[in-house]
Amino acid sequence: MAAFRLTSPAFGHDEDIPERHTADGGDASPPLTWEGVPEGTKELALVCDDPDADTGVVTHWVVYGIGPDETSLPEGVPSDTLVEDPVSLVQGLNEFEESGYTGPSLDEKRGAHRCFFRLFALDTELDLPPGVRRGELRRAAKDHILGVAELVGIA
């Protein structure tokens, strides 16, 4: 089986996130693909955050309830807390108290920031309502992580 790996057709690991996936552009969530989901996975969850912000870690996206047989998220996932199409998933709240993806800002004065997209393979289905925050998701998933795939984009 291939290693658990997260990629994007929009940007490579440690490469610039295209403007259309930033708060300064279209603010559309980037397309993501993965392979090598660990055996026994019951649910996938995704967190995108920026640890380089002056105010501490900024969360850009919280997603959970992704089925283990899914292999991708399309560009521009709707910002609804419950999404059924094109992929069934649940979204939490980002740093801006909004459901869905909010991209990083390209403010040149602040310098480059890393955005970590982390996909968690879980050995259970989390029983979380829509709209949880990153910390709540991480606490619920803590003892259930089978693997983590990571993609870093620069903004």
Structural domains in the chain?
Answer: 5-154 (3.90.280.10)
1, 16, 43: which is closest to 151 by C-alpha? 16
Rounded Cα distance between 144 and 42, Å, is: 10
Task: Identify the DSSP state of 136.
Answer: H
| pLDDT one-digit tens code per residue, 52-92 | 888 889 999 999 999 999 999 999 999 999 999 989 999 99
Task: Return the pLDDT at 147.
Answer: 98
Range of weakest confidence among 4-13, 18-27, 119-128: 18-27
106 and 155 in contact (C-beta within 8 Å)? Answer: yes
The residue-averaged pLDDT of 29-41 equals 98
| pLDDT one-digit tens code per residue, 112-153 | 889 999 999 999 999 999 999 999 999 999 999 999 999 999
In this structure, which long-range contacts are made by residues 135-140, counting pairs with CB atoms below 8 Å and at least 24 apart in sequence? 136/92, 137/45, 137/47, 137/62, 137/64, 137/92, 138/47
pTM of the model: 0.95
- As given in the structure block, the two tokens for residue 72 are 């991708």
Task: Identify the DSSP state of 56.
Answer: S
104 and 22 in contact (C-beta within 8 Å)? Answer: yes
